[in-house]
Amino acid sequence: MKPLLLTLLFGLVSQSCFSQWCQPLTDKQIKTEVAYVLITGIDWMQTREFRAHGFKESNPILGEEPSQERVDTLIFLGIVSHVLITWMLPDNEWREAFQEIPLFFEVSAVMHNYSRGWGPKIRFQYKF
């Protein structure tokens, strides 16, 4: 079901681009979007980590006690939709505002989580 929805979404996006829409991103916009994806990925890892320890989530969209599947689904869809909407917006101050405002909130969330001792943890498992 999810692959079908994503296929439909990409189909709609490709059909809805007009002359002032869907312009290539500038170098600055690409760097800002990469920063957003990376910071959101860090926030995603932090959320998974503290949810695994039973702590409550403060994001009202996720809810106080979201399942891991809900966290993964909503954050993944949030990242994908942000990238697509950024690309679809006209290359003007709206595109940059759409990129920079959520980036500010993601950085704030990651810094808040770090201040509480939650950093992204990468676990490696070795089998010899």
The CA angle 47-51-52, to the nearest 5 degrees, is: 115
Could you report the per-residue pLDDT of 29-43, keeping only the tens digit for each? Answer: 999 999 999 999 999
Could you give the CA distance from residue 125 to residue 96 in angstroms, rounded to a whole number?
40
Least reliable range by pLDDT among 56-60, 102-106, 109-113, 115-119: 115-119
Residue 11 has pLDDT above 60, yes or no: no
If we measure between CA atoms, which residue out of 23, 14, 66 comes closest to residue 44? 66
Could you give the CA distance from residue 106 to residue 78 in angstroms, rounded to a whole number?
12
Share of the chain above pLDDT 90, in %: 36
Residue 7 has pLDDT above 80, yes or no: no
The predicted pLDDT at position 65 comes to 87
Question: Quick one: tokens of 77?
Answer: 């869809």
If we measure between CA atoms, which residue out of 107, 29, 121, 36 comes closest to residue 78? 36
The predicted pLDDT at position 33 comes to 94
3-class secondary structure, 63: coil
The predicted pLDDT at position 103 comes to 95
Question: What is the arithmetic mean of pLDDT over 8-22?
Answer: 60
The predicted pLDDT at position 25 comes to 87
If we measure between CA atoms, which residue out of 106, 101, 92, 94 comes closest to residue 38? 106
First-to-final CA distance of the chain = 38
Residue 49 has pLDDT above 60, yes or no: yes
